[in-house]
Amino acid sequence: MENGVDDPDYGEFPLKAFLGLEIEDGDPGQAEAWLDVGVDHLNPNDVVHGGVVFTLADTAMGRATMSVLEEGLFCASIEVSVRFLRAVPAGRLRARVQVLHAGRRIVHLEGRVFIDSEEKPVAAVSGSFAVLGG
């Protein structure tokens, strides 16, 4: 992988630990992220807060973007869209994302968020990330 993504310390940041996120690289341009839903992730209606689903997807998209960048470059999300398809009461959430197009300055991605034991998505996501640095 490019840009230090294969470094075991890459991608360690306080929010990841706080939320309990796990991230795994696939082939270049792909990534998956997981989260075991706990009571701290729920909204007042006892379903997963939409911001948690967004953060899981955004983190996976950032990781997939980093896997296609050259050494010394980094990224930042400039637009992320989440279409919530159904409520998530509990379980292990899994975001699976892939790069659609990696340009010199912008990377476009899409993906889905699932309850880990199911293949029916709970959210469809898309995003664009700016390529920075260098």
pLDDT tens for 43-63 read: 999 999 999 999 999 999 999
**Residue 3: is its pLDDT beyond 60?**
no
13 — pLDDT class (breaks 50, 70, 90): confident
pTM (two decimals): 0.90
CATH fold label, 14-133: Thiol Ester Dehydrase; Chain A (3.10.129)
Domain boundaries, the chain: 14-133
Token pair in block for residue 123: 């959210």
pLDDT of amino acid 118: 85
φ/ψ region of 78 (left if φ > 0, alpha if ψ in -120 to 50, else beta) reads alpha
Q: Are 59 and 125 in contact (CB under 8 A)?
A: no
